[in-house]
């Protein structure tokens, strides 16, 4: 096998690229690369060793290949996905499981042997006419307990370019770890493309995750959520690993909230897509460590977290100069930014939904030539940019980047926040009574309405525990138990909060302004440091009116009136009781091995609500 592996690599890679690979000294890595080089049969293979020259070669290939085009602002490029490849394909994203392994009905699975057979058949000769790029990355900071080395095989220079911006270089990490490296493997092909350089065999789009062998397969897709393997796809691999080792992989931002006397208190926060996670991580006056995925480990009595990434693959809809000043500035100035599926004008300027200024009358977008009023084949009007349109950038171009981004020790977490789209139940901000109460009633009970970030109907309320249901590779009951156990033995675990930016009145009007979240986070920071008190309600601890009145004046220079407080923070008893019933029914009927403490905590909350209603 070694000889055959070497023969394949020497023949396909050529002397220079073969030598880059041999520098690593990892036979398992060589075998993996050789297998898929032989299977995909690309015209040529390029191995990237993270040198400026190698990275430049792949970035320039995005223009040569037509996967990206240059825009008017220096360093900015635009990429388009197929009109039918605009979100995570949940239907065809499956965890591959061996016989007798059951992850439950809420996790999409496929028989491992059948899935591998199918995917390898699809991959056979799929890279003919393409160049294959072999790239090395590291999830988490390098040279750290958090480090997970990764190898990405892709015939899409656009995918590789995104990962250069999103992840830390990993070539030297592979050399450092040598044959002992426990690495994740990713293989992707965009498949056959048309004249617009977009994937056309969408019916054969497949995204398979094999935790048994730490491999992610992705084929016939370009949309980043399906093709950028190290992002949400890698979460399934790391969730499977950390479940065996006692740490956490979470769909969470990491940010520093700045308090008195130059104090910085670090929080994580879990929000489903299009629920304000990136805008929260980018709050002006605070600092961002990460906006999407975090590794959490216990160190003594502390919980420490790192940003798995070093960049941002963000939803661009709604970003404007008033609400998102830091991101707005980064997206308007020269620097390396990849835009996807937004409108480009003849002058190579761009427009997206919610951007400052008038929507241009004409341009070019994910549907091809575009004009106001254009409709698709089903008669649906096509907006100037897709609601799930994205941008990719390296966090180092942001002026609010936290200096501890690459700290190999991570940052100490003092608060954990859960929030989703909820129009009628949760108050704007509320602290749980303790760790277990927080994990159960804020994390495991997190509901949110569906959005354009996934394919399918929008506006459907779904249970999404810890905002992580789409990314699990272990049974949900086991995942909830893992979260409960993680902090239950700590004397002073991080405080847990629920937050809601989407509360409405009976007429459908929002009860919060977008900027109010600045106040909620300042209150949570002061709670984490024991500087403010609370009012205890049946569902948790809410702020006192006087504290919020002071904070609204200090933070936003606004008056905050009692009437608004009463509307926002009243306990909505019927809605909370209905929520408990919904969550309980789903967990009892659709999820196995849910820890009994979950139902005990929910029942206790129900009793408190009923007692409050009687009073």
Which residues are known to be catalytic? 275
Q: Is 588 helix (H, G, I), strand (E, B) or coil?
A: helix
DSSP string, 20-65: HHHTT--HHHHHHHHHHHHHH--SEEEE--S-HHHHHHHHHHHHHT
Are 250 and 232 a contacting pair, CB within 8 Å?
A: no
Rounded Cα distance, 235 and 243, in Å: 12
472 burial via Cβ count (<10 Å: 0-12, 13-18, 19+): buried
Rounded Cα distance, 42 and 58, in Å: 16
Containing 559, the helix (H) or strand (E) segment is none
Question: Angle at Cα 164 formed by Cα 470 and Cα 147, nearest 5°?
Answer: 65
List strand residue ranges (DSSP E) for 127-183, in order.
131-139, 148-154, 168-169
Q: Tell me the CA distances in angstroms from 259 to 287, 528, 543, 569, one per residue in order.
A: 12, 11, 17, 24
Neighbours of 488 (CB within 10 A): 13
Query: Which two tokens mark 222?
Result: 């370009």
Give the burial string for 285-310 (b: 16+ CB within 10 Å, else e).
ebbbbbbbbbbbbbeeebbbbbbbbb
Checking phi first, is residue 246 left (phi over 0); if not, alpha (psi -120 to 50) or beta?
A: left
């Amino acid at each position: 096998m070694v000889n055959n592996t070497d023969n394949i690599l020497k023949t396909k890679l050529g002397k220079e690229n073969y030598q880059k690979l041999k520098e690593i000294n990892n036979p398992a890595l060589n075998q993996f690369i050789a297998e898929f080089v032989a299977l995909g049969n690309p015209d040529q293979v390029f191995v990237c060793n993270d040198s400026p020259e190698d990275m430049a070669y792949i970035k320039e290939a995005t223009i040569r290949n037509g996967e990206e085009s240059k825009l008017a602002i220096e360093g900015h490029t635009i990429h388009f996905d197929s009109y039918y490849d605009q979100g995570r394909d949940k239907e065809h994203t499956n965890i591959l499981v061996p016989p007798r392994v059951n992850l439950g009905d809420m996790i999409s699975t496929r028989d491992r042997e059948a899935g591998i057979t199918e995917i390898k058949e699809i991959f056979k000769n799929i890279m003919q006419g393409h160049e294959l790029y072999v790239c090395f990355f590291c999830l988490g900071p390098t040279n750290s307990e958090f480090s997970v080395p990764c190898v990405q095989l892709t015939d899409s220079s656009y995918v590789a370019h995104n990962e250069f911006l999103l992840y830390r270089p990993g070539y030297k990490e592979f050399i450092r770890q040598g044959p002992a490296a426990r690495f994740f493997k990713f293989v992707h092909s965009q498949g056959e493309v048309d004249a617009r350089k977009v994937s056309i065999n969408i019916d054969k789009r497949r995204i398979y995750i094999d935790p048994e062998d730490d491999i992610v397969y992705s084929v016939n897709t370009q949309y980043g959520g399906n093709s950028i393997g190290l992002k949400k796809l890698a979460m399934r691999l790391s969730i499977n690993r950390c479940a065996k080792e006692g740490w956490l992989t979470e769909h969470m931002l990491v940010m520093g909230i700045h308090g008195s006397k130059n104090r910085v208190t670090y929080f994580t926060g879990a929000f489903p897509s299009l629920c304000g996670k990136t805008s929260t991580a980018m709050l002006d006056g605070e600092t961002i460590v990460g906006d999407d995925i975090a590794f959490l480990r216990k160190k003594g009595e502390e919980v420490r977290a790192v940003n798995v990434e070093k960049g941002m693959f963000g939803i661009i809809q709604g970003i404007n100069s008033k609400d998102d000043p830091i991101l707005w500035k980064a997206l308007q100035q020269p620097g390396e930014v990849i835009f996807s599926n937004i409108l480009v004008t003849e002058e190579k300027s761009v427009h997206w939904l919610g951007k400052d200024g008038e929507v241009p009358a004409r341009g070019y977008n994910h549907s091809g030539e575009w004009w106001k009023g254009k409709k698709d084949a089903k008669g649906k009007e096509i907006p100037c940019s897709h609601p799930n349109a994205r941008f990719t950038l390296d966090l180092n171009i942001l002026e609010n980047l936290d200096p501890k981004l690459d700290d190999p020790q991570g940052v100490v977490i003092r608060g954990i926040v859960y929030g989703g789209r909820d129009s009628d139940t949760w108050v704007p901000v509320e602290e749980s009574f303790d760790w277990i109460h927080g994990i159960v009633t804020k994390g495991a009970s997190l509901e949110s309405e569906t959005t354009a970030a996934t394919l399918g109907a929008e506006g459907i309320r779904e249970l999404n525990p810890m905002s992580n249901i789409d990314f699990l590779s272990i049974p949900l009951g086991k995942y909830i138990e893992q979260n409960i156990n993680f902090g239950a033995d700590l004397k002073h675990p991080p405080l847990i909060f629920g937050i809601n930016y989407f509360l409405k009145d009976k007429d459908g009007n929002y009860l919060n302004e977008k900027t109010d979240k600045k106040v909620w986070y300042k209150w949570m920071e002061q709670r984490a440091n024991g500087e403010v008190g609370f009012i205890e309600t049946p569902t948790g601890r809410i702020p006192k009116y006087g504290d919020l009145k002071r904070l609204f004046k200090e933070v936003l220079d606004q008056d905050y009136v009692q009437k608004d407080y009463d509307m926002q923070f009243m306990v909505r008893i019927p809605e909370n009781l209905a929520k408990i019933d919904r969550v309980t029914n789903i967990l009892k009927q659709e999820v196995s091995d849910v820890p009994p403490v979950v139902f005990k905590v929910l029942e206790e909350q129900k009793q408190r609500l009923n007692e409050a209603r009687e009073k």
